[in-house]
Amino acid sequence: MATGIISRATHALRYFLLRRLPTCKQMSVVMSESLERRLTLRERISLRLHLWICIWCVWYLEHLHIVRDTLRARAAQTDATDTAAEPHLSLEARTRIKRTLGSNS
């Protein structure tokens, strides 16, 4: 009996917040920005409340973290193994590009 009341109250609170919080589209911008800067208190509170309501945004944020961590690991791996080997164009390729650009002018 008490579990049913708590469940209904939780559902009612989530529905109430859903109607008053920013949309998923707006929160996705905030989530992306949170990876690059510290959010304001208002943004953090809105984000936490939205994540409490929306499982899709929770998954989206998890995926953002996975992509960021993977890219950082890949960059560190590339820096460690390939410090001196930067990609260069061959002399033939540079000549072809210059010729093509010169003929388009």
pLDDT per residue as tens digits for the range 42-51: 999 999 999 9
- Residue-wise pLDDT for 49-82, tens only, equals 999 989 999 999 999 999 999 999 998 887 777 6
Q: Is residue 73 domain-resident? A: yes
> How many domains are there within the chain?
1
Q: Is residue 93 domain-resident? A: no
Q: Is residue 103 domain-resident? A: no
Full 3-state SS string of the chain = CHHHHHHHHHHHHHHHHHHHCCCHHHHHHHHHHHCCCCCCHHHHHHHHHHHHHCHHHHHHHHHHHHHHHHHHHHHHHHHHHCCCCCCCCCHHHHHHHHHHHHHHC
Taking the whole predicted model, whether its pTM rises above 0.85 is answered as no
Q: What is the mean pLDDT of residues 13-41?
A: 91
Q: pLDDT grade, residue 83 (50/70/90)? A: low
Q: Is residue 95 domain-resident? A: no
Residue 59's domain spans which residues? 2-85
Q: Is residue 92 domain-resident? A: no
Q: Is residue 90 domain-resident? A: no
